């Protein structure tokens, strides 16, 4: 483990915890925005896990009658519309 001391004003502000409804809305925004040939790159917040974000995307896709494939690489979640889905 390594650490560095920095001035307080240079430190990022604490993230506010997203409520369940905010997470649901954000997941639905991603699902609705997806079009063929485009991939959403989702950077996780401090309280997010790749598994939780992917599950939320799957639930949102089902609510919108869409099929979304998601995967994670090095702490970033990616999602795309499954081929054959209409926008």
Report pTM. Answer: 0.73
Backbone angles phi, psi at 33, to 5 degrees: -75, -20
* Spacing of C-alpha 86 from chain mean position: 21
Residue 72 CA: distances (Å) to CA of 6, 56, 61, 77: 31, 14, 17, 4
26: Cβ contacts below 8 Å, ≥ 6 apart: 18
Per-residue tens of pLDDT for the chain, all 87 residues = 776 777 788 877 665 555 678 888 999 999 999 999 999 999 988 888 999 999 999 999 999 999 999 999 998 999 999 976 544
């Amino acid at each position: 483990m390594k650490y560095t001391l920095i001035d307080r004003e240079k430190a990022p502000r604490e993230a506010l915890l997203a409520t369940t409804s905010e997470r649901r809305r954000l997941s639905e925004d991603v699902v609705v925005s997806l079009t063929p040939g485009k991939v959403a790159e989702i950077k996780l917040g401090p309280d997010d896990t790749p598994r939780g974000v992917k599950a939320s995307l799957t639930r949102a896709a089902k609510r919108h009658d869409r099929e979304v494939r998601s995967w994670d690489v090095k702490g970033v979640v990616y999602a795309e519309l499954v081929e054959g889905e209409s926008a």
